[in-house]
Copies of this chain bind each other. A is one copy, B any other.
Amino acid sequence: MRILVALGGNALLRRGEPMTAEAQRANVRVAAAALAAIQPGNELVITHGNGPQVGLLALQGSAYKPDELYPLDVLGAETEGMIGYMIEQELGNLLPFEVPFATVLTMVEVDPADPAFKDPSKFIGPIYPAGEVARLRAAHGWVLKQDGDKWRRVVASPAPKRIFELRPIRWLLERGTVVIAAGGGGIPTVYDPGRRLRGIEAVVDKDFCSELLARELHADLFIMATDAAAVFADWGTPQARAMRRAGPAAIAAYGFPAGSMGPKVEAACRFATATGKRAVIGALADLPALLRGEAGTTITAAVSGIAWAEGAG
C-alpha cells in the first residue's frame, strides 16, 4: 500500500519547548518510532511542518543583521534540509539497513493571482512590540497584524498548484525508497511573466500541499498525524464527541478552527472525494491503528453520514 503520512508541526517541536537541535531530535525520534511501525510492506512518503523552525531561522537572521533577512523560499529550503535530515537519520536507525531513504527538496508552484496574496493571514516568525511595527513595515514592506498584545508578520498562504519533483518522488517510491518531501508545504514559487520560476514570500498550507502530493502520487491512504486523537464535534464543550468514520459532505457541515483542524478536514475531504480512497486524521502515537482504521477519524466517500467513536473517542 502506498501511504503518505503528514507530520504536524507540533509532532516535531512542541509549543514552549526550547528550539534546540536536541529538542527537535527528541521529538523526531518519537515520530520515527511510530513511522517505523508502519513502513514494512508499504511504500511510505513522509511530509512535515516547519512553522517553528522557520520562525527560528528568521529570528537568527534578524539577530545577525536586521535588514538582510533571508527570504521565505530560502528559509523553507533550509528547514526541508534540517528536518528531513533528522527524520531520515532517526527513522533509518529503526529500519533494516537495506531500506533506501531519500529526502527530496520540494518546490511548489502557486498562482501569483491567488486571492491569498490580497489578504495575508499566516503568522510567521518572532513577535514584535507595537513600537517596532512602523519601522518593520517601512524597512521590509511587511504586513504585520496583532497577535494577542504583540505584533507579528503575516504572509499569504496560497493554494499549491504543482509539485515540481513529483516524478522523482514517484520513481523513488517505486523502488521501495522511504521518501521525505514537501516539508513545510514545499518551497513557495511562482512563474514571473517571462516564465522564469522564482521564490515568493508566502507559506503554502502544509495540509493542502500534502493532499496534492498524496493525490498525484495515487496514494492509497493519506494520514495526517497530529496531537489530537481524532476529529471532534463540539470540541471544548461537555458534548464533545469523536468521529470514527465520516463522509466528506457530512463532516464538512461542521465548523473547525481555521488554524488547526479546519485545513486538515478540508484536505481530507478533498482527497477522499477526488480519489475514493481513505484519509485519516489522528494521533501520531496511534499510527498503526490509524492505518487499520481503528483509531482517529477516517474520512471516506464510502460512507455518507458520521459514525461516532465509542466512549471518549
Interface residues of A (CB under 8 A from B): 18, 20-21, 56-57, 59-61, 63-64, 68, 70-71, 73-74, 77-82, 84-86, 88-89, 92-93, 100-105, 107, 164-165, 167-168, 171-172, 175, 177, 187, 189, 196-199
Asked if A74 and B21 sit within 8 Å, CB to CB, the answer is yes
Picked from B63, B187, B197, the residue with its CB within 8 Å of the CB of A60 is: B63
Complex CA distance for A171 and B81, rounded to whole angstroms:
21
Assembled-state Cα–Cα distance A120/B182 (Å): 37
From B21, B60, B105, B171, contact of A85 by CB (8 A)? B105
Inter-chain contact B105/A88, CB cutoff 8 Å: yes
B78 touches A164 (CB 8 A): no
Q: Give the distance in Å from the alpha carbon of A70 to the alpha carbon of B20 in the complex.
A: 7
Closest to A167 in B: B100
Q: What is the CA–CA distance of A187 and B86 in the complex, to the nearest angstrom?
A: 11
Query: Which residue on chain B has the smallest CB distance to residue A189?
Result: B89
Q: Please tell me how many copies of the chain the complex holds.
A: 2
> Once the chains bind, are B77 and A82 in contact (CB under 8 Å)?
yes
Chain B residues within an 8 Å CB radius of A78: 57, 78-79, 81-82
With A and B bound together, what is the CA distance between A56 and B80 in angstroms? Answer: 18
The residue among A57, A81, A86, A167 with the most chain B CB atoms within 10 A of its own CB is: A81
Residue of B nearest to A195 (CB): B93
Extra pairs beyond A77-B82, A88-B105, A101-B164 (12, CB < 8 Å) = A56-B64, A63-B64, A81-B105, A89-B199, A92-B164, A100-B167, A101-B165, A167-B177, A168-B177, A171-B171, A171-B172, A171-B177
Q: How far is the CA of A86 from the CA of B165 in the complex (A)?
A: 14
From residue A275, how far is it (CB to closest CB) to chain B in Å? Answer: 24
26 contacts between A and B (CB under 8 A): A20-B68, A21-B70, A21-B71, A57-B60, A60-B60, A74-B85, A74-B86, A77-B82, A77-B84, A77-B85, A81-B84, A84-B105, A85-B105, A85-B107, A88-B107, A89-B189, A92-B164, A93-B197, A100-B165, A102-B105, A103-B104, A103-B105, A167-B177, A168-B175, A168-B177, A171-B172
In the complex, the 5 A-B pairs of residues with the closest C-beta atoms, listed nearest first:
A81-B81, A77-B85, A103-B105, A60-B60, A102-B168
In the assembled complex, the Cα of A246 lies from the Cα of B82 at a distance in Å of 41
- CB of A100 within 8 A of CB of B168, answer yes
**Shortest beta-carbon distance from A67 to chain B in Å:** 10
Shortest CB-to-CB span from A168 to chain B, Å, is: 4
Q: Which residues from chain B contact A20 at a C-beta distance below 8 Å?
A: 68
